[in-house]
A and B are shown apart, each in its own frame.
Chain A
Amino acid sequence: MSDNEKGLSRRGFLKTTGIAAGALVGGGLIGGLVGYNTKDNKQISNEMTNGEQHGAPSSRARMFFTNDKDFMILSAATERIFPKDDLGPGAIELDVPYFIDHQLAGNYGSNAREYMQGPFKAGQSTQGYQSRLTRAEIFQQGITKIESESQSRFKKGFSDLENAQMDEILTVFQKDEVAMTAVSSGFFFKLLRQATLEGAYSDPLYSGNNNMGGWRMKEFPGHQGSYAQVIDKEGFQKIEPKSLSSMQNMQH
């Protein structure tokens, strides 16, 4: 592989340039993009609630994105970053797009606990984030740019593209080759990638990591009270994951 294909294990992720589109596995995911009431997702919902509740979890509604189109672009992009495969669910099945939507509507989206006073200047990369934009504004602009990049390259909307075409577009964002206003496309991509992983692996209370599917793949047991009785044992301990909601149930 060329240097361009080196991953995040190296410190210079932002400085390295990304991934050749051909290196990624193809396959059609777009069929499942319209809505979340596909057969597979219904089954997951039922498992999650022991069959007591039917239909989609109540967290599957939007607080931030106002239209389906933007949300579908976001969904398709996150699925390319974290695709469904033989290991298990991808971003869409894990409800990552809803996680991101909900986060953008809150403190995360408005950079509420960060220093946002001017003057805003570009600075060196070692000085970090210097944009006047909030994350909500960056995502909004980034989604629009993904769509316009798709139209100009392929004369099609992003969510109608083949996987390899989507990857080509995400890669130019990653490589910082798309002009954005008051933020770099590389920064937007980094944010999108990080938010996707956060949605896949945070406690389901944030409406991602549906049915703890992210944790199951990684064999992370989530919230466990204590490992004091097992930590000295040889061999890998397979432990059924628990979310923080299990504590609430105990308290009722």
Chain B
Amino acid sequence: MAKTLEKVDVVTVGVGWTGGIIAAECAKAGLKVVGLERGKERGTADFQQVHDEYRYAIRYELMQDLSKETITFRNNRKQEALPMRQMGSFLLGENLGGSGTHWNGQTWRFLPYDFEIKSMTEKKYGANKLSGDYSLQDWGITYEELEPYFDKFEKTAGISGEVKNPFEGKRANQYPTPPMIKTPLLQKFEKATTNLGYTPFMLPSANLSEPYKNPDGEQINACQYCGFCERFGCEYGAKTSPEITVVPTAKKTGNYEIRFQANVVEILKDGNKVTGVKYVDRISGEEFIQPAEAVVLTSYVLNNAKLLMVSKIGEQYDPATGRGTLGKNYCYQILPGATGFFDEQMNVFMGAGSLGMSIDDWNGDNFDHSKVDFIHGANISLTQTGTRPILSNPVPPDTPAWGADFKKASIHNYTRTLGVGGQGASMPHKENYMSLDSAYKDAYGVPLLKLTYNFTDQDRALHMFITKKAEEVMKEMGAKTVVPGNPLTDYDIVPYQTTHNTGGTIMGASPENSVVNNYLQHWNAENLFAVGAGNFAHNSGYNPTGTVGALAYRCAEGVIKYSKNGGSLV
């Protein structure tokens, strides 16, 4: 039998960026918070031997142990979903800090257009710009309303950047720290995009350009450009992560406790409120019930949705009828781009996760879409994240995949290859959704989450369009050979693409078409909150964490308000 523990004010499921932000804000406000983290504790001191591509980037040391839990996947409803047995397309986090430990740190604000995408698209292009199969909707919040929360997250994280992007929403403040170093590689991109009439700017970065103390008093150090960022933790404490900012902030209050190896298996509900969560201690195998005044789901997109599904809270989305909201509007991203092979050797192995320059001229509704058959667009960047030798074996087309010619070409081109890449927005489609699997279970006997997903015509059209733009930039940069990315085919869960999964617990103005309101409070249970990229009603052409951070601060405010007055916050 599960042992029932003492009731607390707030329990969060997972301790990454969102769990850490909720904990810091609620604990500062005097609420007693418990964070349940399925993985282990870790921090800067654990990353002293982190410059190890094989262990961290290939064997995924910091990521989810799939032997315990994974998802199942199929491209469409006619197929049988099968387990994602190995990680590939996206890299799920685990342990303290979650994906916030091994992220690159590219910290964007979504565009004003994103939050009102349906209204703005219809106003400008009419109601039939996209077919009715795309379940486009507004987010129930505007950019202006979210701006203070973006600002707060940027200050917590100390984001390094420059206010030079003519397309971004209005900002109350500058970035807390100046941009990173504009390296010779970045200058190539700057020059080329300027020549083409675009407005390049330094990418907003959580790898800090200088030491910084955030408003909570947490110290973040200066980036050393060591080239081990994505898939790695930072041994310098220079990549802003939950475990060096919001988690210690929460702990300092004395109101916060994290329980590690605590795998939540169910949200407990009674009437129109939740009473707490049930979890399994991964070491002892014991079951516990943690009662709480408020429950906040702060795990990754996939698990937030899964927990609501297994706990039968909300109505499961059904693509056949269009009814239900839970699991709806799962989105991903597309990655159009071009590879350039150069004559000269470059310092490609130096870098940082968010070292880069971007243009937003082809993102959002920053250009006229009346003559194209898609909406939205992509941020186009050149990043110098540090390429490493196992994963980077670039060869021109028609090079054999192995043997003497491959060896020669891959060694020659390792230091002579650059990429210009777009992060293409992803629009929700009625056939792309999450549900529960009936055949496969996790290590605790809970069904796996089932993902039904494929790229759509909108994706293909956008991909082709942005690929051409990336190709033009690469040519202007002076590459000897420019190789555009292949056109999109079916979504494939094997090759790494991006860990920007969104949707499933979307936010909105009405319980008819969303799971949570704009405080990320569940429509069907007033003391239950679910926060993260799952709230995105579609996915934009940027990395998600800036917007996730803003939503988490918004959610924290909601939890605190709720703890005082109760009831629906909207």
Contact = CB atoms under 8 A, between A and B. Distances in A.
Interface of A: 1, 5-13, 16, 18-19, 23-25, 80-83, 85, 87, 90, 107-108, 111-117, 119, 121, 123-130, 167, 170, 174, 193, 196-198, 200-203, 205-206, 214-215, 217-228, 230-234, 236-237, 244, 247
B414 A115 contact: no
Given A202-B390, A215-B389, A236-B345, A115 B224 contact: no
B347 A231 contact: yes
Nearest to B494: A128
A115 B83 contact: yes
The CB with the most chain B CB atoms within 10 A, among A107, A174, A201, is that of A201
28 contacts: A7-B395, A7-B406, A8-B399, A9-B395, A9-B396, A10-B397, A11-B495, A19-B402, A24-B404, A82-B407, A83-B404, A85-B408, A111-B86, A115-B85, A123-B79, A124-B79, A126-B491, A127-B73, A129-B85, A174-B401, A193-B401, A198-B390, A201-B53, A201-B389, A203-B54, A228-B223, A231-B181, A234-B184
Contacts of A119: 439
B224 A225 contact: yes
Contact of B400 (A19, A230, A233, A237): A19
Contacts of B223: 228
A227 to B, nearest CB: 4
The CB with the most chain B CB atoms within 10 A, among A90, A117, A167, is that of A117
Contacts of B80: 121, 123
B484 to A, nearest CB: 11
Contacts, number: 223
Q: Which 9 A-B pairs have the closest CB atoms?
A: A202-B54, A226-B224, A236-B345, A201-B389, A227-B350, A223-B51, A7-B399, A25-B404, A126-B492
A28 to B, nearest CB: 14
Contacts of A224: 51, 226-227
A202 B347 CA distance: 19
A12 B182 CA distance: 35
Given A227-B227, A231-B181, A115 B399 contact: no
Interface stretch (B62-70, B159-167, B283-291): B62-70
A219 B85 contact: no
A130 B49 contact: no
Contacts of B388: 201, 220
Nearest to B222: A228
Nearest to B48: A247
B344 interface: yes
A171 B291 CA distance: 60
B349 interface: yes
A128 B493 contact: yes
B59 A112 contact: no
A9 B483 contact: yes
Given A121-B82, A202-B53, A231-B225, A218 B389 contact: yes
A9 B397 contact: yes
Contacts of B339: 9
B54 A80 contact: no
A85 B397 contact: no
Interface in B371-396: 388-390, 393-396
Contacts of A170: 402
A111 B406 CA distance: 28
A11 B483 CA distance: 12
B58 interface: yes
B52 interface: yes
Interface in B473-499: 483, 485-486, 490-495
Contacts of B403: 19, 23-25, 80-81, 83, 167
Contacts of A18: 401
A222 B51 contact: yes
A170 B401 CA distance: 12
Given A6-B399, A214-B389, A228-B223, 15 more contacts: A7-B399, A8-B401, A11-B486, A83-B404, A87-B411, A115-B85, A116-B67, A126-B490, A128-B73, A200-B389, A220-B389, A223-B51, A224-B226, A225-B226, A227-B226
A81 B404 CA distance: 7
Contacts of B492: 125-126, 128
Given A9-B395, A80-B403, A126 B349 contact: no
B455 to A, nearest CB: 11
Interface string B158-187: 000000000000000000000001111000
Contacts of A7: 395, 397-401, 406, 409
Nearest to A81: B402
B440 interface: yes
A130 B349 CA distance: 35
Nearest to A25: B404
Nearest to B89: A128
B226 A8 contact: no
Contacts of B67: 111-116
B387 to A, nearest CB: 9
B415 interface: yes
B66 to A, nearest CB: 5
B399 A126 contact: no
Given A9-B394, A24-B405, A193-B401, A221 B349 contact: yes
Contacts of B404: 24-25, 83, 85
B224 A228 contact: yes
